Amino acid sequence: MRAPKKPKLAVWKFASCDGCQLSLLDCEDELLAVAGAIDIAYFPEASRAMVKGPYDLSLVEGSITTPHDAERIHQIRRQSKFLVTIGACATSGGIQALRNFKNVREFTSLVYASPEFISTLDKSTPISGHIKVDFELHGCPISKEQLLEVISAYLNGRKPNTPSHALCIECKRAGIVCVMVAHGTPCLGPVTHAGCGVICPQYDRGCYGCFGPKETPNAHSLAASLAGAGWSKDEIMRVFRTYNAEAPAFRKASTSHED
């Protein structure tokens, strides 16, 4: 009897640091099992064998920043049955979306002596601004556990279990001492999407929002409490303008603190 055909996985890269796709290779204990359950058909970071599409599951890393990439993402959508964005770049435009608040020509000439060689768009945009996305993973970088959850949910035909509440709730449930209450350390936990496993507070650091805004965050009230703690307008603007600056809730919070 022939074994049933394994579903095909593809991993795609746009503007990014490669960190999110590296998370898959960082699943040292699970990698070979994953490769046993799903056919890693296209993953140029790891293999020179590139099997043609269509693909059952596509993981997309990175944001759209060039005219060519804006086209390429449509081809990928056409070849993919189920498409998941992995990480802040793909899901909300990433750190490179800081250009969206500036004049990109100025940026180009600051970095490159011959800016005419550089082909780039004015804005860095998330994948969902271009095509239909079936599922989004947050984080800069994503959590390995959540990545494995998405793959295994896909293989088992169920919805991935990735909570959409605030990091703050995850933190309290884990019984971690609140850094705001205990040390007065400012923390974006109340507005940040859960999923990282509450890393920063366990290292006596406030969350800086690398998982982006949770659903319906009250960024306004957090900004008010930061102001109450003595933060300047500029500091508040910057804290919302990092790895998820283009996510609507954070964009709103940062622009309302612009001078």
Partner 1 sequence: MKTRTIKVDYLARVEGEGALYVKARGDHVEDVKLKIFEPPRFFEAFLRGRDFREAPDITARICGICPIAYQMGAVHAMESICNVMIDPRIRLLRRLIYCGEWIESHVLHIYMLHLPDFLGYPDAIQMAKDHPEAVQRALRMKKIGNGIMTLLGGREIHPINVRVGGFYKTPTRRELSSLTDDLKWGLEAAIVTVKLVSTLNFQNFEQDYEFVCLRHPDEYPLNEGSLVSNKGIDCPISQYDANLIEEHVAHSTALQTTVKGRGSAHLGPMARYSLNYDQLTPLAKNAAVNAGLEKTCRNPFKSIIVRAVEVVFAFEEALRIIKEYDQPPCPAVDVKPRAGTGYGCTEAPRGICYHRYTIDDAGIIRDAKIVSPTAVNQKTIEGDLRYFIEPNLHLPDEKLKWECEQAIRNYYPCISCSAHFLKLNIERA
**133 part of the interface to ligand SF4, by CB under 6 A:** no
Site for partner 1 in 209-228 (CB under 8 A): 210
Site for ligand SF4 in 158-187 (CB under 6 A): 167
Nearest to 213 by CA among 235, 239, 234: 239
Number of residues that bind partner 1 (CB under 8 A): 62
Tokens 């140029």 belong to residue: 44
Applying CB under 8 A, which of residues 41, 73, 140, 226 lies at the interface with partner 1?
140
Q: Which does 209 bind (CB under 5 to 8 A by kind): ligand SF4, partner 1, none?
A: ligand SF4
Contacts 24+ apart (CB under 8 A), 186-191: 186/226, 186/229, 186/231, 186/239, 188/222, 188/239, 190/166, 190/217, 190/218, 190/222, 191/166, 191/217, 191/218, 191/219, 191/222, 191/249
Nearest to 55 by CA among 80, 76, 77: 80
Number of residues that bind ligand SF4 (CB under 6 A): 23
**73 part of the interface to partner 1, by CB under 8 A:** no
Which residues in this chain contact partner 1 in the complex, by CB under 8 A? 13-20, 22-23, 25-26, 28-29, 31-32, 35, 40, 43-50, 65-66, 69, 94-96, 98-99, 102, 104, 106-108, 110-114, 117-118, 120, 140-141, 196, 199-200, 202-205, 208, 210, 235, 238, 242-243
